[in-house]
């Protein structure tokens, strides 16, 4: 969020953790929370927050009092720079402890810890520093590493947004996995079924097919919620399983399979449907540009357009939204459809840009990664894009860490989880580092089952 | 989304009844159209005896396929006719269940045509497959009744399965493994409780992240340690126990009284938690902090401590469920072996509407679908097994969308409590 409320609206600003001013006035926030429950109903309070949020947004311009970096990080995480940095430090320290404890040499040295404690620390330092150096150089250490980072980030940005957009309407889209599969399957099918078409027609056709397939796969839980109230968490989880199994079945049929082979691998995508690379020897392709452009479009849609206002209003308080003439059911359906379209595009970008053919399990947890990306971004569009880039760097760095030092790529999952744990619970970070950082209220990005 | 709630007016009831009727007609079409024409034999044999022996043997049930299916089809058609006209009133949902049950019977007759289906095997498989789901769903009920959303059941399962395998291998006893599994489940629960109750972090965020964390840690340790030290990953499993005499009763005996200790534990846990939640002072207090923590606080119930204890107890229950994989079903830990069953448990809790017995019923439904897929593969039914496996998920969507109606979660579910 770029908006910053003027000083006279400070108390309301305090409830919006992404606003830099929130930090300075945050001491009023808990008290306000406490007293307002007594005087205001939940609905009134949420409406007031929505109004304040909107006023803040209308200011549009970026406040001059906060530095760019601080605003950037606040936008990403909704917490202060200090707490966020410390969260990263804490996550990497705990990750380092996990590496050291699982390392054979360190375990041996730990066996005679009381005799020569220095051996343990030396051994631990060696294995941990080697792993982390490989992690950093593997993500940013050169042209091909940066290329790999952008390749990994492309689907993460898209699936992150696929979770973030419904989140703004108070919906939790766990169905990214199924939507990625739907998008990838259809994009791949179009990609290898029409080999004669020129690139300008074939590529957009395949991408659009993936987008629409994902949108359809997201529309189903949306419309079920709108019409019957079926909870989107259940329906999207079920649709994930259905997607995985159905795609496994389809890949074994002649519609997808290579006729001469029996293993479930599809025919290769035609050259004319492949996302072009910028440089032939680097894998980075037009997909990252598409992801960033969609990010800008979604930013406008969610933060600036009338539809986006409805989306946010429904997310903050469906009762108030209904009272002011909006249709929460329709908004819910649209939010899930947009989310599905984004995840479907992510699937298309993986098949058309990187893998070139569909295999079972090509989605590889991208939908779930999207959840962590959106949560680190706190459901903000800019924050989600930045978080997608960060996790893309961690992923590509993790791969070269695994190749160079033998430390398993799974460590990246642990570190990602730790970062979000520490960012989501700033109180924990303050307790660990004994810093008296500003008291910030952490926004509830997700609501209960009854939302 | 209560704003889009359909009111339970007469018009809505008629509409709902029509929707049910359309569903029943669909069943009739499949039964009358597909099952009668594509059967692979004239008679279907249902074997009712367990191979391990019992008091007396029952004759196998041999049914003519086409007449049986036609009788069942007529019954469902009658239900559909009533649904489309006057409706069943208060029993509307029950009758949908009856129609679906008749459909499943017709389906089994069709699948077993020209072959023999072991009914005991199918039902034993159902109880087995539903064991971890039921434990996970009970964990969810405990947490959410106390006002803490626990989406991390999958993470608790994984951590518990891993710890159970390692502890049982090191000690050479599944009981030590079970304790390790319970400890790991409780550890994840403690992280959930600490972060969401003490530090007031968003409960769904914490839950999702704990799944990622547990997946990452167990996968990391499996790659780094277990793959190089296979002696740490060979847990001894719980033996199957029989209750004397009761286990000899035909049909019921092998299904209910021949279980591992975890299977028996599931029945005890469901019954005990249902009683404790709804009939004891402890249960009333637990539910009160989930419904209206301020009121509970006012009358002197310690809200945060009650929530902590409920989440930790939930972790213990989920830990038992997670241990099932390595101490009962498989006997070895492998990466991400729980395969999303934690999410199914979450769905079972919601379908069961936050009641232990309801959640258990939903868990049995999922377990039945799992066992059915195995049975049908044994019968060589000409449907790809990957597609058959989607059945429980499709059924859940239908159940959640049309048949159960709206959830009414505990009022304070997901909200951190601030005293003041």
Closest residue by Cα to residue B402 from A224, A240, A172? A224
- The confidence score (pLDDT) of residue A27 equals 41
Q: How many helices (H) and strands (E) does chain A have?
A: 20, 0
- The CB-side HSE value for B68 (13 A sphere, CA atoms) comes to 24
- Asked whether residue B155 falls in the same domain as residue B57, the answer is no
Q: At what angle do helices A287-299 and A143-168 cross, to 10 degrees?
A: 30
Give residues with Cβ within 8 angstroms of B287, minimum separation 6: B145, B146, B277, B410
| In a shared domain, residues B224 and B147 | yes
C-alpha torsion sign, points A217, A238, B193, A156: negative
B157-179 in b/e form (b: 16+ CB < 10 A) is bbbbbbbbbbbbbeeeebebbbb
Residue B397 domain-assigned (yes or no): no
- Cβ–Cβ below 8 Å for A319 and B3: yes
Output the pLDDT for position A6: 42
- Chain mean pLDDT for chain A: 80
Clarify whether residues B158 and B269 are in a common domain. Answer: yes
Residue A70 to residue A86: CA distance in whole angstroms: 14
The answer to whether B409 contacts chain A (CB < 8 Å) is yes
User: Does residue B251 share a domain with residue B217?
Assistant: yes
Chain A hits for B405, CB-CB cut-off 8 Å, are 229
Q: Mean pLDDT across the stretch A289-300?
A: 96
Q: Which residue has the higher pLDDT, A436 or B50?
A: B50
- Closest CA relative to residue B153, chosen from B378, B299, B322: B322
B19 & B63 share domain: yes
Instruction: Kindly report the pTM of this predicted structure.
Output: 0.82
**Residue B52 DSSP class:** T
Strands of B43-47's sheet in order across: B61-64, B43-47, B116-118
Contacts of A364 in chain B (CB under 8 A): none
Pairwise CB contact (< 8 Å): B201 & A411: no
Which residues is B258 bridged to in the sheet? B242
Domain boundary residue, one of B119, B140, B171? B119
Q: Is residue B401 part of a domain?
A: no
Chain B environment of A371 (Cβ under 8 Å): 208
Minimal Cβ distance to B350: which of A102, A231, A408? A231
Write the pLDDT tens digit of every residue in A305-327.
998 998 888 888 888 888 888 88
d(CA B302, CA B305): 6
pLDDT exceeds 60 at position A106: yes
Q: Alpha-carbon distance B232 to B229, whole Å?
A: 6
List C-alpha distances in Å: B411 to A228, A328, A332, B293, B407. Answer: 21, 21, 22, 9, 11
Q: Which residues numbered 332-351 in B keep a CB inside 8 Å of some CB on A? A: 340, 343-344, 346-347, 350-351
Residue B282 domain-assigned (yes or no): yes
Q: What is the pLDDT of residue B33?
A: 85
Contact A221, A336 (CB under 8 A): yes
Q: Do B6 and A229 touch (CB under 8 A)?
A: yes
| Residue B416, CA distances (Å) to A37, A448, B290 in order | 13, 11, 10
pLDDT in tens, A107-133: 888 878 888 888 888 888 988 999 999
Percent of residues in chain B assigned helix, strand, coil, to nearest 5 = 70, 5, 25
Label residue A260 by pLDDT band (50, 70, 90). Answer: confident
Q: Are A448 and A232 in contact (CB under 8 A)?
A: no
| CA–CA distance, A254 with A272 (Å, rounded to integer) | 22
Residue B375 lies in a domain: no
Mutate which: A43, A105, A231, A255, vs B, most B CBs within 10 A: A231
Contact of A210 with A348, CB cutoff 8 Å? yes
- Number of alpha carbons in the 13 Å side-chain half-sphere of residue B303: 24
Domain match, B212 and B275 both: yes
Among the partner-chain residues B149, B387, B401, the one whose CB lies closest to the CB of A224 is: B401
B28 inside domain: yes
User: Cβ contact (<8 Å) for A328 and B4?
Assistant: yes
Q: Minimal CA–CA distance to B411: which of A167, A449, A39, A234?
A: A449
B144, B297, B393: which to substitute to probe chain A, counting the most A Cβ within 10 Å? Answer: B393
- What structural domains does chain A harbor? 7-79 (no CATH), 142-404 (1.10.3470)
The two beta strands, B116-118 and B43-47, are parallel
Touching A: B residues 95-154, CB under 8 Å? 144, 149, 151
Query: Can you say whether residue B64 is alpha, beta or left, with left for phi > 0 and alpha for psi between -120 and 50 degrees?
Result: beta
Do residues B28 and B20 touch, judged by C-beta distance below 8 A? no
Flag if B409 and A444 touch (Cβ within 8 Å). Answer: no
- Residue ranges of chain B with pLDDT lower than 50? 1-7
**Closest residue by Cα to residue A55 from A80, A25, A81, A21:** A21
Give the pLDDT of residue A3.
39
Q: Of B366, B390, B415, which residue is a domain's last?
A: B366
B136 in the same domain as B56: no
Same domain, residue pair B36 and B159: no
A374 within 8 A of A296, measured Cβ to Cβ = no
Side-chain half-sphere CA neighbours of A76 within 13 A: 23
pLDDT in tens, B383-395: 777 787 787 788 7
Q: What is the pLDDT of residues A46-55, one digit of tens each?
A: 555 555 444 4
- For residue B329, tell me if it sits in a domain: yes
Is B53 in the same domain as B193?
Answer: no
Final residue of a structural domain among B85, B119, B153: B119
* Separation in Å, CA B73 to CA A102, B139, B299, B388, B395: 61, 40, 57, 22, 20
Is A410–B223 a contact, with Cβ atoms under 8 angstroms apart?
yes
Looking at residue A35, its pLDDT comes to: 40
Segment A205-218, tens digit of pLDDT: 999 999 999 999 99
Q: Which distant-in-sequence residues (6+ apart) come within 8 Å of A327 by Cβ? A: none
Asked whether the beta carbons of residue A420 and residue B205 sit closer than 8 angstroms, the reply is yes
Question: Is B384 an 8 Å CB contact of chain A?
Answer: yes
Decide if B147 is inside a domain: yes
Q: Do B384 and A322 touch (CB under 8 A)?
A: no
Contacts of A235 in chain B (CB under 8 A): 397, 400-401
- pLDDT exceeds cutoff 50 at A40: no
Phi, psi of A46 (to 5 degrees): -65, -40
Give the 3-state secondary structure of residue B62: strand
Buried b (16+ CB within 10 A) or exposed e, B82-92: bbeeebbeeee
Residue A410, CA distances (Å) to A98, A394, A402, A407, B244 in order:
11, 11, 9, 8, 48
A421 → closest Cβ in B195, B204, B346 = B195
Partners of residue B344 in chain A, C-beta under 8 Å = 237
Chain A residue with CA closest to B223: the answer is A408
Are the beta carbons of A136 and A405 closer than 8 angstroms? Answer: no
| Closest residue to A417, CB basis, from B209, B347, B415 | B209
Domain match, B132 and B44 both: no
Contact assessment for residue B196 and residue B416, using Cβ atoms and an 8 Å cutoff = yes
Residue A220, pLDDT above cutoff 90: yes
Contact flag A446-B213 (C-beta cutoff 8 Å)? no
Flag whether B58 is in a domain: yes
DSSP letter at B45 equals E
Query: How many CB atoms sit inside 10 A of residue A133's CB?
Result: 15
Question: Looking at CA atoms only, how far is residue A201 from chain B in angstroms?
Answer: 34
**Distance, CA of A301 to CA of A291 (rounded, Å):** 15
Number of domains in chain B: 2
Chain A to chain B Cβ contacts (< 8 Å): 200
What does the pLDDT read at residue A189?
A: 95
- The conformation of residue B113, written as its DSSP 8-state character, comes to B
**pLDDT value of position B14:** 80
Are both B156 and B282 inside the same structural domain?
A: yes
The verdict on B35 and B71 lying in the same domain is yes
DSSP state of A6: -
pLDDT, tens digit (0-9, with 9 covering 90-100), for A57-91: 443 333 333 444 454 445 444 556 677 788 888 89
Would you state the structure tokens that stand for residue A350, as one six-digit string?
């993986």
Report angle CA A249, A251, A253 to the nearest 5 degrees.
Answer: 75
Determine which helix (DSSP H) or strand (DSSP E) holds B44, and give its type and residue range: strand B43-47
Beta-carbon count within 10 A of B336 CB: 13
Question: For B348, which residue in chain A has the nearest alpha carbon?
Answer: A234
The β-bridge partners of B63 are B44
Domain enclosing residue B220, as ranges: 128-366
Rounded to whole angstroms, what are the CA distances from B94 to B79, B88, B404?
A: 11, 9, 10
CB neighbour burial string for A378-412, b if at least 16 within 10 angstroms, e if fewer: bbbbbbbbbbbbbbbbbbbbbbbbbeebebbbbbb
């Amino acid at each position: 969020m770029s908006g910053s409320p003027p000083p006279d609206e400070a108390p309301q600003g305090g409830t919006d953790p992404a606003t830099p001013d929130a930090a300075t006035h945050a001491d009023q926030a808990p008290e306000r929370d406490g007293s307002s429950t007594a005087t205001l109903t939940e609905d009134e309070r949420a409406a007031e927050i929505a109004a304040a949020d909107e006023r803040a947004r209308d200011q549009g311009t970026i406040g001059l009092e906060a530095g760019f970096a601080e605003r950037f990080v606040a936008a990403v995480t909704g917490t202060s720079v200090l707490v966020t940095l410390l969260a990263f430090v804490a996550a990497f320290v705990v990750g380092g402890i996990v590496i050291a404890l699982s390392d054979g040499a360190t375990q041996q040295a730990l066996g005679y810890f009381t005799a020569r404690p220095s051996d343990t620390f030396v051994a631990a330092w060696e294995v941990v520093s080697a792993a982390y150096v490989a992690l950093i150089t593997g993500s940013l250490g050169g042209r091909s590493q940066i290329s790999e980072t952008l390749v990994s980030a492309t689907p993460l940005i898209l699936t992150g947004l696929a979770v973030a957009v419904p989140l703004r309407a108070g919906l939790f889209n766990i169905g990214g996995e199924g939507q990625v599969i739907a998008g990838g399957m259809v994009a791949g099918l179009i990609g290898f079924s029409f080999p004669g078409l020129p690139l300008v027609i074939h590529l957009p056709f395949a991408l659009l097919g993936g987008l629409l397939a994902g949108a359809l796969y997201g529309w189903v839980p949306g419309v079920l919620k709108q019409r019957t109230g079926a909870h989107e968490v259940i329906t999207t989880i079920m649709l994930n399983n259905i997607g995985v199994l159905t795609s496994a079945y389809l890949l074994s049929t002649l519609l997808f399979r290579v006729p001469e082979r029996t293993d479930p691998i599809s025919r290769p995508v035609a050259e004319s449907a492949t996302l072009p690379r910028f440089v032939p020897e680097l894998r980075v392709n037009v997909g990252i540009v598409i992801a960033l452009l969609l990010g800008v479009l979604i930013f406008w849609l969610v933060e600036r357009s009338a539809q986006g206002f409805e989306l946010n209003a429904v997310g903050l308080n469906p009762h108030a939204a209904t009272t002011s003439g909006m249709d929460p059911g329709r908004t819910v359906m649209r939010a899930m459809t947009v989310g599905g379209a984004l995840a479907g595009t992510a699937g298309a970008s993986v098949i058309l840009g990187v893998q070139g053919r569909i295999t079972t399990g090509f989605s590889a947890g991208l939908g779930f990664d999207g959840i962590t990306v959106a949560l680190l971004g706190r459901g903000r569009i800019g924050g989600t894009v930045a978080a997608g880039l960060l996790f893309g760097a961690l992923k590509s760095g993790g791969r070269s860490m695994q190749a160079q030092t033998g430390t398993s790529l799974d460590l990246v999952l642990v570190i990602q989880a730790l970062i979000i744990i520490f960012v989501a619970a700033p109180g924990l970070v303050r307790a660990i580092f004994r810093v008296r950082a500003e008291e910030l209220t952490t926004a509830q990005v997700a609501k209960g089952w009854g939302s | 989304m209560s704003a889009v709630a359909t009111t339970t007016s007469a018009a809505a009831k008629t509409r709902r009844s029509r929707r049910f009727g359309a569903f029943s007609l669909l069943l009739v079409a499949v039964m009358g159209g597909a099952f009668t024409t594509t059967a692979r034999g004239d008679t279907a044999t249902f074997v009712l005896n367990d191979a391990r022996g019992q008091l007396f043997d029952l004759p196998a049930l041999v049914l003519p396929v086409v007449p049986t299916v036609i009788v069942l089809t007529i019954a469902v058609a009658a239900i559909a006719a009533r649904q489309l006209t006057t409706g069943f009133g208060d029993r509307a949902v029950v009758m949908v269940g009856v129609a679906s049950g008749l459909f499943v019977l017709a389906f089994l007759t069709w699948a077993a045509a020209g072959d023999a289906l072991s009914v005991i095997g199918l039902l034993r498989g159902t109880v087995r497959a539903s064991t971890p789901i039921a434990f996970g769903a009970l964990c969810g009920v405990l947490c959410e009744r106390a006002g803490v959303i626990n989406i991390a059941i999958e993470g608790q399962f994984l951590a518990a399965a891993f710890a159970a395998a390692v502890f049982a291998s090191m000690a050479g006893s599944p009981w030590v493994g079970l304790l390790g599994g319970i400890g790991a489940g409780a550890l994840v629960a403690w992280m959930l409780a600490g972060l969401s109750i003490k530090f007031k972090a968003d409960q769904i965020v914490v839950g999702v992240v704990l799944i990622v964390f547990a997946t990452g840690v167990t996968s990391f340790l499996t790659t780094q340690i277990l793959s190089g030290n296979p002696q740490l990953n060979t847990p001894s499993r719980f033996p199957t126990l029989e209750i004397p005499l009761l286990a000899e009763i035909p049909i019921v005996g092998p299904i209910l009284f021949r279980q591992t200790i975890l299977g028996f534990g599931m029945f005890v846990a469901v019954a005990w938690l249902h009683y404790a939640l709804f009939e004891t002072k402890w249960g009333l207090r637990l539910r009160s902090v989930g419904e209206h923590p301020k009121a509970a606080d006012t009358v002197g119930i310690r809200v945060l401590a009650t929530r902590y204890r409920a989440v930790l107890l939930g972790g213990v229950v989920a830990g038992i469920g997670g241990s099932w994989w390595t101490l009962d079903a498989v006997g070895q830990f492998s990466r991400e072996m729980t395969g999303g069953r934690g999410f199914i448990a979450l769905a079972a809790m919601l379908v069961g509407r936050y009641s232990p017995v309801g959640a258990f019923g939903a868990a049995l439904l999922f377990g039945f679908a799992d066992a059915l897929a195995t049975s049908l593969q044994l019968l060589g039914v000409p449907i790809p097994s990957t597609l058959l496996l989607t059945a429980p998920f499709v059924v859940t969507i239908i159940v959640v969308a049309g048949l159960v109606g709206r959830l009414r979660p505990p009022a304070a579910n997901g909200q951190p409590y601030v005293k003041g």
